[in-house]
């Protein structure tokens, strides 16, 4: 009799602790889900909406924790009397619970920051702790108030755990534990079934539901691009004739202009909708200095980033190659690859060359990548002098972060131009104020205001970057260089502010993240209407060579925007959340989400906000065939590049 009692106690106590740990995590996790939704609330009357939505959105978290608890309970029942093994199982499960709790805290910030749950791809891309930029991006998660909140949540978990243990022991002593557990299983099953029907499974709502632990595992196991390449009936990209470099193809005035210099301005995280000439009418209020040069500008309306990530854009701008359909970083993957670059071609043509970046060239190893690519000078936040306040969130733990003000960067650029007056030059300017969290900005002084405080702050940063770019244009005009200089203004990608459930960039290929401005500014250009040529980042380098009258680079993928022999599609992708790929053709956008096996088609002429999905079974098959053919061609090109670089 005593042995039976001892065995019962030996088995029951570990079971109680596992169940109590799961109950505590379920309770605290539900509170975190409610916290995740709280930024949507404007009045106290929405409190019930927070409770209801957070409660039902927790069902995947519940499924994960109770699935893991069930496995532990099974092992406990199989261990017999081995108290040491039972204790190890309990400790392992509690460690898993604490990990899930900490990850859930980080995931609350991630959903607000990237519009979806953490994924393996996003963690890889974030390049945490390598550079100043990455550290500043994650600093909101590591500040004092956030750490206090995590501590309070841990204390809350301990309190619920202790209370649950006492309750379960009381039920065990009264002989009601088995009945209570049976009832709990029935209630949990019913809750999960009901929650799957009540939650928002659309693209906008998916990020508020997904369990981060499960999402990281599933995205880490996702098939690579080469698996998608094997799709049957793949349609190979159309083979085009050799590129044309005749200056007779250039717009009137530019074909006879004596262009000797180039300034390539890359506006960080600025989409087409915010720049005068490429965006809406109100864009002139956000970029008034650029708008003041409208009479000397040729604006393009249909230009795209191939991936809404800075390093991938840098790669495409310099090499005129599509970035790899992967979360891997080209600036490391192809750092030593032998390929012709825009800067290399222009240096060989006798131009002085320089690269100016407001941010940190160590981010994603960009500095190492551009080294040896033909730049005489590389300057970033470490070397650009600045008398302006340049850091937004400096602290003793993270001093002097994260970028120099764009006005200081442009001042360094103009000093460099003046240093050797009369010598042709190529300068690449990469702004930084508009990168999240939108540095040194104030609410916009002109143009429309936004109801979103973050977007309003962003618009202030856009105005500051515009002022800095205006300083460069004014300097060139005052020095008599504007007529002989081609100024190219482009955005490296766009920025999302809640559209399609996304924020910031790098998460999707909707217009707000991939549609970018392209302005060619020169006194010889004056067109009343914008150009509707469809193109992308790979076309910028060939266009610059074309305007300068240099022979086209036959190894490049891109074509001058003035070359009539252009492909009818521009491809794009975002690997961080859903592994989504797509392309634009004519006025339609085609998208395919590999992680969810879902196709989308949008008519941009009638639905610029991409709200009505026109895809059907036939179009889905066509999209898969076209994308798999393109990816197969890209894999071949990258393999040839790696082979040639050995």
Examine the domain organization and report whether 58 and 163 are in the same domain.
yes
Total domains in the fold of the chain: 2
Q: Cα dihedral angle (19, 20, 25, 30), rounded to 10 degrees?
A: 90
User: Is residue 547 domain-resident?
Assistant: yes
271 contacts: CB under 8 Å, gap ≥ 6: 279, 491, 493, 494, 495, 511, 512, 513, 515, 516, 517
Residues of the chain with pLDDT under 70: 1-11, 37-46, 110, 112-116, 119-146, 200-208, 221-232, 327, 389-401, 440-449, 577, 645-646
Please tell me the pTM assigned to this model. Answer: 0.77
| Residue that finishes a domain, picked among 560, 582, 613 | 560
Task: Tell me, yes or no, whether 392 and 323 share the same domain.
Answer: yes
Quick one: 337 and 270 in the same domain?
yes
Each as own residue / partner, the long-range contacts of residues 548-555 (CB below 8 Å, 24 or more positions apart, any chain) are 548/259, 548/260, 548/262, 548/346, 548/349, 548/486, 549/245, 549/247, 549/259, 550/245, 550/345, 550/349, 551/245, 552/242, 552/243, 552/244, 552/245, 553/320, 553/340, 553/345, 554/242, 554/243, 555/339, 555/340
| Statement to judge: residues 93 and 158 lie in one domain | yes
Residues 208 and 283 in one domain: no
Alpha carbons within 13 A on the beta-carbon side of 349: 22
Is residue 20 a part of any domain in this protein? yes
Which three-class secondary structure string do you get for 40-94?
A: HCCCHHHHHHHHHHHHHHCHHHHHHHHHHHHHHHHHHHHCCCCHHHHHHHHHHHH
Q: Please state, as a whole number, how many other Cβ atoms lie within 10 Å of the Cβ of residue 38.
A: 12
Kindly state whether residues 386 and 515 are assigned to the same domain: yes
**Cis amide linkage into residue 437, ω under 30° from 0:** yes
pLDDT digits (tens, 9 = 90+) for 303-328: 999 999 999 999 999 999 999 887 67
319/386 same-domain check: yes
Q: Is the same domain home to 174 and 317?
A: no
DSSP string, 323-380: PPSSSS-HHHHTTT-----HHHHHHHTT-EEEEEESS-TTGGGHHHHHTTTT-SEEE-
- Contact between 344 and 376 under an 8 Å Cβ cutoff? The reply is no
Domain end, chosen from 560, 590, 606, is at 560
* Together in a domain, 125 and 267: no
Domain final residue pick, 164, 198, 220: 220
Q: Based on the fold, state whether residues 266 and 216 are members of the same structural domain.
A: no
Q: Does residue 402 sit in the same domain as residue 304?
A: yes
In a domain, 574, yes or no: no
pLDDT value at residue 136: 43
Distance of CA 244 to the CA centre of its chain: 35
Residue 254 forms part of a structural domain:
no
Q: Is residue 328 part of a domain?
A: yes
Q: Looking at residue 467, which CATH number applies to its domain?
A: 3.40.720.10
Within a domain: 590: no
- Are residues 265 and 211 both part of a single domain? no
Report helix, strand and coil shares of the chain as percent, to nearest 5. Answer: 50, 10, 40
Q: Which of 147, 212, 165 is nearest to 19 (CA)?
A: 165
**Segments forming the whole domain that contains residue 358:** 261-560
* Contact (Cβ atoms closer than 8 angstroms) between residue 523 and residue 296: yes
Residue 622 lies in a domain: no
Q: Is 245 domain-assigned?
A: no
């Amino acid at each position: 009799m005593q042995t039976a009692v001892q065995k019962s106690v030996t088995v029951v106590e570990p079971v109680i602790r596992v169940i109590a740990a799961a109950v505590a995590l379920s309770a605290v996790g539900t509170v975190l889900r409610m916290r995740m939704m709280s930024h949507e609330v404007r009045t106290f009357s929405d409190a019930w909406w927070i409770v209801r939505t957070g409660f039902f959105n927790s069902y995947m978290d519940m499924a994960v924790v109770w699935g893991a608890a069930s496995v532990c309970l099974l092992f406990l029942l199989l261990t017999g009397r081995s108290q040491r093994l039972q204790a190890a199982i309990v400790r392992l499960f509690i460690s898993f619970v604490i990990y899930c709790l900490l990850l859930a805290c980080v995931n609350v910030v991630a959903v607000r920051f990237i519009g979806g749950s953490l994924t393996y791809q996003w963690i890889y891309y974030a390049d945490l702790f390598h550079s100043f930029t990455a550290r500043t991006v994650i600093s909101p998660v590591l500040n004092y108030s956030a750490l206090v909140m995590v501590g309070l949540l841990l204390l809350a978990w301990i309190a619920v755990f202790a209370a649950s243990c006492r309750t379960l022991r009381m039920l065990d002593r009264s002989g009601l534990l088995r009945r209570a557990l049976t009832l709990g299983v029935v209630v949990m099953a019913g809750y999960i079934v009901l929650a799957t029907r009540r939650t928002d499974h659309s693209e906008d709502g998916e990020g508020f539901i997904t369990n981060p632990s499960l999402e990281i595992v599933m995205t880490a196991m996702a098939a690579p691009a080469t698996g998608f390449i094997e799709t049957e009936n793949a349609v190979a990209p159309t083979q085009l004739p050799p590129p044309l470099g005749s200056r007779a193809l250039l717009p009137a005035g530019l074909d006879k202009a004596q262009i000797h210099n180039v300034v390539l301005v890359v506006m960080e995280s600025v989409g087409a909708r915010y720049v005068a000439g490429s965006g809406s009418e109100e864009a002139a209020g956000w970029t008034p200095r650029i708008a003041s040069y409208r009479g000397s500008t040729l604006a393009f309306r249909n230009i795209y980033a191939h991936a809404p990530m800075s390093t991938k854009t840098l790669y495409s701008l310099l090499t005129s190659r599509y970035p790899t359909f992967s979360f891997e970083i080209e600036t490391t993957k192809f750092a030593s690859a032998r390929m012709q670059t825009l800067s290399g071609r222009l240096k060989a043509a006798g131009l002085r060359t320089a690269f100016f970046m407001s941010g940190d060239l160590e981010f994603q190893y960009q500095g190492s990548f551009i080294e040896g690519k033909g730049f005489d000078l590389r300057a970033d936040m470490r070397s650009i002098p600045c008398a302006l306040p340049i850091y937004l969130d400096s602290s003793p733990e993270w001093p002097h972060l994260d970028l120099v003000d764009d006005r200081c960067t442009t001042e360094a650029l103009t000093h460099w131009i003046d240093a050797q007056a009369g010598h042709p030059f190529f300068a690449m300017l990469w702004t930084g104020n508009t990168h999240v969290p939108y540095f040194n900005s104030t609410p916009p002084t002109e143009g429309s205001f936004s109801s979103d405080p973050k977007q309003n702050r962003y618009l202030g940063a856009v105005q500051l970057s515009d002022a800095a770019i205006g300083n460069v244009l004014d300097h060139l005009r005052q020095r008599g260089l504007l007529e002989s200089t081609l100024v190219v203004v482009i955005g490296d990608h766009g920025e999302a502010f809640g559209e399609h459930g996304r924020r910031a960039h790098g998460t999707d290929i909707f217009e707000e993240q991939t549609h970018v401005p392209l302005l060619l500014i020169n006194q010889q250009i004056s067109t009343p209407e914008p150009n509707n040529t469809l193109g992308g980042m790979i076309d910028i380098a060939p266009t610059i060579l074309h305007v300068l009258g240099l022979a086209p680079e036959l190894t490049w993928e891109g074509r001058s925007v003035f070359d009539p022999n252009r492909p009818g599609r521009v491809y794009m992708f975002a690997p961080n959340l859903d592994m989504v790929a797509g392309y634009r053709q004519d006025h339609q956008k085609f998208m395919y989400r590999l992680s969810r096996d879902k196709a989308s088609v949008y008519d941009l002429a009638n639905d610029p906000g991409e709200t009505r999905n026109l895809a059907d079974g036939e179009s889905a098959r066509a999209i898969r065939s076209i994308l798999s053919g393109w990816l197969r061609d890209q894999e071949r090109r990258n393999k040839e590049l790696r082979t040639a670089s050995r």
